[in-house]
Structure 1
Amino acid sequence: MKHIRRIPFTILFLSIMVLANWFAGTLAGTLPAETLSNWGISHQTVVTGDLARLITGTFLSHDLGMFLRQLIFAGAVIGYFEWHGSTLRTAITYFSIDIVGSVIVLFAVVPLVAAIPEIGQADARATLDVGMSAGGFGLIGAILASWPHKWLLLGAVVAAIVVKVWYDLDVIADSAHLICLLIGFAVQQTLSVRSRSWDRKEGLR
């Protein structure tokens, strides 16, 4: 029980995921099209000012398989980050990277891709998406930045994303994974450098 108390944000996050997909009908097999239309995020929904979808879309999954994968992914990544850090820092890091990364994707990447006929993603602006993996990859980036051989590990994850894109491009998800991974890594790297600099200054006093 004491271990559970160390990861309250993770438990809350997973609970909301389960409840959201249960009520939405995803656990029966597939997220209903009407629910995706009402709660999913896209370039168009954010442009029209429906910013709440940046949160609501996070807790939903397209189908049962995706839900199960993301439930395990969220439990592992968010749980690890919270276990080794603090609950407040985990919540702030996850949602800030998830939201910032999603906005970058929807306002910069999607319009650019939609304008390139060769890619065949002309409808990318209207494509609705759901899922928590953007913020999850942000936490992965932050975790890697605190590990030994961080640059090698970062390169390996980036390479894995590139391979996935080569075989099965998903403009919103793939670009969000890459961008959030790099944001998380950069943020943690910056904090680590500043922390070491501060420690050196304190040691000189």
Structure 2
Amino acid sequence: MLLWRKIPFTLVMFASILLLGIVLGSVRGYLAPAIEQQWGFGLHNLWDGRPYTMVTSVFLTRRPFMVLGMVTVVGLIVGLYEWLVGWRRALLLFWATDILSKLMASLLVVWPLYMAGAAMGRSMALSSDIGASAGGTGCLGALLHYVPARYRRTVTLLAVLYHILRPIVYPDPYADAMHIFAFALGWYLGKYRPHISN
């Protein structure tokens, strides 16, 4: 009951991702490519007039390890942020950073590469991204403002370093662009900390 009062948004997201993972088979094996293409998000969805995939893609996962990763991101990062600022601000920041980072990555990175005729641009434009990591990364950026002052610089540098090294070690250009934009947006929006209670 305490958790429901403190982090209702996190619990709804957690349950939705897990439930869809079970229903669509991600927890047992692999999400059907047709579902990912139809309900995941990509520049091709904007071309096809399906902007709603910016929302539906958040709840999808590809395989068991991704289900675990997404519920961990939501449970720990989004949950902690919601505990500190309340469900309204957490919900707003999560969705604002998630949707804005998708639009920014699509229009500022993927679309120019596609228009330039780059092979990477064509590949990214036709691909679909799924998962709650962009919104979770936005919450991570906002959380940095709640780290004790004497540790904040170190923790911030580590978070920035992670977002620099991850694309080198495990490249996923579309998602990497979203994460960088979401992290920066979360950090910027997180500077404003009105006292909103559950």
Q: Aligned equivalents of 1:77 and 1:116: distance in 2?
A: 38
3-state DSSP of counterpart to 1:41: coil
Q: Which residue of 2 aligns with 1:156?
A: 158
Residues 24-63 of structure 1: CA distance to partner in whole angstroms, max 9, x if unpaired?
A: 2212211111111221111110232211100100011111
Q: Which residue of 2 aligns with 1:181?
A: 183
Q: How far is the alpha carbon of 1:139 from its aligned partner?
A: 0.3
After TM superposition, the structure 1 = structure 2 runs for residues 33-182 of structure 1, keeping only pairs within 5 Å, are 33-114=33-114, 115=116, 117=118, 120-147=120-147, 148=149, 149-182=151-184
Q: How many residues align?
A: 191
Q: Aligned equivalents of 1:2 and 1:61: distance in 2?
A: 28
Letter in 2 for 1:34: A
Which structure 1 residue ranges, 5 or more long, are not aligned? 196-205
Q: How far is the alpha carbon of 1:2 from its aligned partner?
A: 2.0
1:146/1:188 contact within 8 Å kept: no
Question: Over alpha carbons, which structure has the higher Rg?
Answer: 1
Q: How far is the alpha carbon of 1:146 from its aligned partner?
A: 2.8
3-state DSSP of counterpart to 1:28: coil
Residues 110-134 of structure 1: CA distance to partner in whole angstroms, max 9, x if unpaired?
A: 12344474x8453110011100000
Residues 134-176 of structure 1: CA distance to partner in whole angstroms, max 9, x if unpaired?
A: 0000000000023224344223212112111122321111111
Q: Aligned equivalents of 2:117 and 2:161: distance in 1?
A: 23
Q: Aligned equivalents of 1:184 and 1:152: distance in 2?
A: 18
Q: Aligned equivalents of 1:137 and 1:3: distance in 2?
A: 22
Residues 151-202 of structure 1: CA distance to partner in whole angstroms, max 9, x if unpaired?
A: 442232121121111223211111111110011101122x25xx7xxxxxxx
Q: Aligned equivalents of 2:153 and 2:131: distance in 1?
A: 27
Q: Aligned equivalents of 1:101 and 1:85: distance in 2?
A: 21
Q: Aligned equivalents of 1:68 and 1:28: distance in 2?
A: 12
1:110/1:171 contact within 8 Å kept: no
TM-score normalised according to structure 1 size: 0.86
Q: Aligned equivalents of 2:43 and 2:3: distance in 1?
A: 40
Q: Aligned equivalents of 2:160 and 2:186: distance in 1?
A: 13
Letter in 2 for 1:102: K
Q: Aligned equivalents of 2:170 and 2:72: distance in 1?
A: 22
2:37/2:127 contact within 8 Å kept: no
Higher relative contact order (CA 8 A, sep 6+): 2
Which structure 2 residue ranges, 5 or more long, are not aligned? none
2:94/2:139 contact within 8 Å kept: yes
Q: Aligned equivalents of 1:162 and 1:3: distance in 2?
A: 34
How many percent identity over aligned positions? Answer: 23
